[in-house]
Structure 1
Amino acid sequence: MLSLRVEDAVGSCAVEPGELAEEVVLDCVGAPVRELLHHPSAAVRTAVLDAFLMWTGPHARRAEEVVIGRGNSLHKSVQRARAVVDLVPGKPERVLVVGVVNSLLQQLRERGCGYVPCDRKGGVTEWGEPIATDAHAALDGCDAVLASGMVVGNGTFQPLLEHARATGKPFVLFAQTASAVLPWFLGSGVTAVSAEPYPFFWLDGGPTAIYRYSVQGMFRT
């Protein structure tokens, strides 16, 4: 995870191990925002835009704050999963879950929703289900999309957004990456966002917060 700070705000973008050289990170230190927004690395551009938007418009001014209570990582992950899945409207028959998190899958299972787990790494879920690696190929067989903010960093956000716009399917994001960027797409393909700024729930055993946006609430002023 690459995290950059603008004033008192921190923006983030998930990266794969070894994706960013140490020199790239060091070059960001003290660099002006206007320069980093044109950086050759998409991860740097995403993280600095995320930080800038968080600084100019903090989540607390515009969204519903949900406190994730203290506990170990598993306990907090389950709490977060409930709050995230609550943003999926209705009871879709099959949800494409891009970025596999077992606690999210468990919440869908408990609600009687089918799902297609998808992650570039492949593998199997906790229940032995095969994990698809091509989200685009699975879109037509699903009637809702629940995706990680990591889709911004790896370049797969745009096809998902275009599909949601074309079909009207619910498109919900749970975002550590680009948590302050994705709410700007509400009502333009994105149905809801669970925004989780740094520090993330797994970094702190005490209470942490996520911020929920939906097309019903849009942006608060």
Structure 2
Amino acid sequence: MGGDRLTEVLDATYDCLTRYGVRRTTVDDIAGAMGVSRSAVYQYVRGKDDAVRRLAERLHTRALERARRAASADAPPATRVRGVLEAKLGLVLELAGDSPHTAELLDEKARLFGDICHGFTAGLRTLLIGVFTGAGLVDACLGDANPAERDAAGPARPAADTRRAGAGEPDPRWPGGAGAAGSVGAVGPAEAADICIALVLGLESVPGGEQLLRPAVDALLAGLLGEARAAP
């Protein structure tokens, strides 16, 4: 029951934020939205700041869970990458659409919850690195990296794998074959993840950004992975 009441407190906090914003919302506002006394709110949170922080954590945790499901899905890399980025863009559109005030919950520089926002982005980056590593994207510099760096990035792709032995043809096991290896050798999984995050950050400020996400990801992955076309 305590968990249910905490959920009610956070729901009421969100309702207040849509009207007043983070700075102007008070515990009295939250209590009023719930129809309870001020002291009842303090049974579940330490105060307004605690309620706002818990709310930000709940929202970002849910979005990160969606991103994790997308990253681990049994689907082609393009679909998985797009799913991770949709989780971030979806959170932004949800908060910005409800109120200019709730968009404050996305501010990585905010005193109350900036670390939560930053951790969310870092979690997305880790998921994307995993997808790109699994897709065969390897940093050309890993040959000179120390063992720990090589282990973190995953096994390097042998040069012989880029072509069928004696045939001079691209190996179909790797997206784009030798052509892809030549075009993305300088871009490793971490850098590819950073590019994807930069892409979605740009789409967040563009009207209709959600409609542009798929073609933008398709075009990006065509360059990064050498894919002729995105997954359905």
Higher relative contact order (CA 8 A, sep 6+): 1
Q: Normalised by the size of structure 1, how large is the TM-score?
A: 0.23
| Greater strand proportion | 1
Q: Normalised by the size of structure 2, how large is the TM-score?
A: 0.22
| Greater helix proportion | 2
